[in-house]
Amino acid sequence: MSSWHLFRDRYIRNRKYQYGVIRSIADWTIIIYLLIPAVIFIIMSYRSWWMELPGWIESIPFILIFMLLYLLSWSGNIRTYVEEADKVFLIKKQQSFFGMKKWGYAISMLTQALGTGITFLVLLPFLINHFNLNGQEIGTLPFYFIALKSLIMLVKFHLNKIEKMFKKIVFQFLLFAILSCLSQLIYFFWARGSLLLVGLCGMALLTMSIYFSLKAIQKISTIDHEIDMGRADKTKNIELIFMLSNEIEKPIVTKRTKPLLFRRSKRIFKKRTPVNGFIELFLKILLRNRSYVMNYFQIISVGTVAIVLIPPLWIKSIIFIGFLIMMNSWLSLIWNKIASSNPLSKKYSETNFYFKARKRAVMSLFITAIILLGVFVFGWQSMLSHFGMPFGLFRG
């Protein structure tokens, strides 16, 4: 079997798998009553943008859209469609093996380029009618962002090899800052009409990224890494379904051998009492579990977005009350889950100091969540007000 036929079969199987995942939650009722009206609404809204621009675009500077495009460029990964059995069988036929990986990389690039093109197609009414950009100015931008995305895909391919979480986060932050500065420099040249220079920079980035990406995927030593990336990409829709479901546990598997926090299990409270002991045990388990921490901040972030973006004050009040109920229920549920999985907590689960520790721990994290919500809401409100966007906190 040729490398093209091998890649095509695996690509088709992967598409069928993703279609099955989507069909598992989207039956014909959902498609007819939700998806089709949503598509019609999006088409009608897009058509209305060509006829008359919405008022909120008047207060948005183009640099904000440019940096938003930069953030969107960090989506997507290199997919080579390598499978576990290839380490035994296909690796012996290196020509077909590497040919299949090159086809996978080409499709990954094409998919990301198509996504960038669709993004600019959505923004086209604003770029032409509001920012008054000509064809050359508009055409230079998607070319640069496609080149930037190819570089980011290469960067993420190497970043995913790092097993230590702290080291990975540090490198990712540094690279994010460096590429952000590069994009701001490109914007500086583009805003001053140096379109040829922007195009040459994009060409250099694209050529360099493709060259080093092809060299990277030709290394046999990366096969385990590519299998892990392919497995994560294949199951991303399933993980999204789990994330949106409150009834399903979302465990996160980590390769870290030592906990990031409390490695030597130092005491949090100087005063040693049964109540403090239970609270300390609960906090250490909670903070060491990235899934619990992410869910905690996810509830806060969803509440923040809803309160900031929905104008009527009475709806904001309902959302805030709903946030309080949800956060308190979730913290109580997590306490019961952690307590039931720990032998020490189960043994003393009927004592007075157990319930006192439960009340104090849940209340402390509950108040912290309210404070964080307030900080996030006023932070977003200040930023949106700075740009004059019509999302007033007390707008009724």
Q: Over pLDDT 90: what percentage of the chain?
A: 23
- Give the mean pLDDT of 250-273: 56
Whole-angstrom Cα distance, residue 320 to residue 7?
Answer: 50
392 falls within a domain: no
Provide mean pLDDT across the span 189-198.
Answer: 91
Quickly list H helices, the chain.
3-25, 28-30, 36-51, 62-72, 94-129, 135-159, 165-191, 195-217, 223-234, 236-244, 274-288, 290-309, 313-341, 343-347, 352-386
* Burial of 22 (C-beta count, 10 Å sphere; 0-12/13-18/19+): exposed
**Quick one: pLDDT at residue 245?**
53
pLDDT at 357: 82
pLDDT at 305: 77
Total domain count, the chain? 2
Q: Indicate the DSSP class of residue 276.
A: H
Model pLDDT, residue 207: 95
* pTM score over 0.85: no
pLDDT of residue 1: 67
Instruction: Specify whether 378 is located in the same domain as 280.
Output: yes
Q: Is residue 339 part of a domain?
A: yes
Candidates 230, 191, 248; CA nearest to 79 is: 230
Domain that holds residue 24: 3-240
208 and 287 inside one domain: no
State the pLDDT at residue 394: 42
- Taking 90 as the threshold, does the pLDDT of residue 118 lie above it? yes
Q: Would you state the pLDDT for residue 258?
A: 56
Residues 146 and 209 in one domain: yes
**Residue 356 covered by a domain:** yes
Instruction: Answer whether 151's CB lies under 8 Å from 74's CB.
Output: no
Nearest-10 crossing angle of helices 236-244, 3-25: 10
- Asked if residue 301 is part of any domain, the answer here is yes
Same domain, 230 and 320: no
Decide if 246 is inside a domain. no
Least confident of 93-107, 239-253, 305-319: 239-253
Last residue of a domain, one of 209, 240, 271: 240
Instruction: Give the residue with greater pLDDT, 239 vs 43.
Output: 43
Q: Pick the residue with more confidence: 172 or 269?
A: 172
The yes-or-no verdict on residue 392 having pLDDT over 50 is no
Give the least confident one: 137-141, 167-171, 187-191, 372-376.
167-171
Q: What pLDDT does 243 receive?
A: 52
Give the residue with greater pLDDT, 154 vs 274.
154
Query: Between the CA of residue 393 and those of 102, 302, 309, 322, what are the distances in Å?
Result: 51, 16, 8, 17
pLDDT (mean) for 259-277 = 62
Q: What is the mean pLDDT of residues 189-211?
A: 92
Q: Are residues 198 and 293 in the same domain?
A: no
pLDDT for residue 120 = 93
Whose tokens are 């040919």? That residue is: 99
Residue bearing tokens 């959505």: 122
At 352 the pLDDT is 78
CA 371/CA 224 separation, integer angstroms:
44
> 14 and 99 share a domain?
yes
Find which of 243-247, 304-308, 345-349 is predicted with most confidence, using mean pLDDT.
304-308
For residue 208, give both structure tokens: 């360099």
Looking at residue 246, its pLDDT comes to: 47
Structure tokens given for 52: 């008359």
Quick one: pLDDT at residue 26?
A: 65
73 versus 261: the higher-pLDDT residue is 73
Q: Is residue 247 part of a domain?
A: no
In the numeric block, the tokens 């469609």 are attached to 81
Q: Is residue 145 part of a domain?
A: yes
Mean predicted confidence (pLDDT) in 340-359: 71
Classify residue 323 as exposed, middle or buried by CB count within 10 Å of its CB (0-12, 13-18, 19+).
buried
- pLDDT (tens digit per residue) in 10-38: 899 988 888 887 777 666 666 666 777 77
**Residue 336 reports pLDDT greater than 90:** no
Question: Is residue 72 pLDDT above 50, yes or no?
Answer: yes
Task: Examine residue 394 and state whether it is found in any structural domain, yes or no.
Answer: no
Q: Are residues 143 and 281 in the same domain?
A: no
Judge whether 311 and 395 are in contact, CB under 8 Å: yes
On whether the CB atoms of residues 156 and 77 are closer than 8 A, the answer is: yes
- Rounded mean pLDDT of 256-278? 62
pLDDT value of residue 193: 87
* Torsions phi, psi for 166 (to 5 deg): -65, -45
Tell me, yes or no, whether 204 and 284 share the same domain: no
Same domain? For 181 and 299 the reply is no
Of 217, 240, 263, which residue is a domain's last?
240
Cα 389 from Cα 4, distance rounded (Å): 50
Give the tens place of pLDDT for each residue, 120-165: 999 999 999 988 888 898 999 999 999 999 999 999 998 888 877 7
Asked if 190 and 42 sit in the same domain, the reply is yes
Same domain, 234 and 89: yes
Domain stops at, among 240, 270, 303: 240
- Evaluate if residue 263 carries a pLDDT over 80: no
298 and 224 part of one domain = no
CA angle 214, 205, 176 (to 5 degrees): 95
